[in-house]
Amino acid sequence: MTDSPLLKSDKVIITPHLGASTIEAQANVSKDIAEQVLAVLQGRFSKYAVNAPYVSSESIPFIKAASTMGNFASQLMEGQIGEVHIKYGGEIANYDCKPFKAAIISGLLQQVSEERINLV
């Protein structure tokens, strides 16, 4: 791999990975991984998830409310869900609404799916 053109490019800066180069650092990384896996398994958000939308700590209450509203709405519906129209207003509209949309849809699907639904 040392003969890769990428390594020879003047436009690329390559540094060694030093994040877990000591025993203490490896223990800390292992602890972080375990805590993140536990968070996801408990239905909480992972700080370092891949392919998951970023969720700020300020928006977490809105995420929980959106999921609850989706779940509640699905209990009021009769038949299959054909379309979902979502409108945001008030304080929630100041945030990136993609995670809220995912939470609403997740809440809707929880009532009709035997599979565990997540936000990713």
- For range 87-110, the mean pLDDT: 88
- d(CA 53, CA 9) in angstroms, rounded, equals 32
Q: Is the pTM of this model over 0.85?
A: no
Helix axis angle, 98-110 relative to 60-76, nearest 10°?
A: 40
- Position 58 scores a pLDDT of 82
Other CB atoms within a 10 A radius of the CB of residue 12 amount to 10
| Identity at 84, one-letter amino acid code | V
Contact 81, 108 (CB under 8 A): yes
Other CB atoms within a 10 A radius of the CB of residue 66 amount to 25
Q: Which tens digit of pLDDT belongs to each residue from 68-93?
A: 999 999 999 888 888 889 998 988 88
Q: Is the pLDDT of residue 98 over 80?
A: yes
Q: Is the dihedral of CA 34, 36, 41, 42 positive or negative?
A: positive
- Position 73 scores a pLDDT of 93
Q: Which tens digit of pLDDT belongs to each residue from 56-68?
A: 778 888 888 999 9
Per-residue confidence at 1, pLDDT binned at 50, 70, 90?
A: low
Instruction: State CA 7 to chain mean position distance.
Output: 33
- Position 2 scores a pLDDT of 67
Q: Which tens digit of pLDDT belongs to each residue from 16-63?
A: 666 667 788 778 888 888 888 888 777 777 777 766 767 777 888 888
- d(CA 22, CA 25) in angstroms, rounded, equals 5
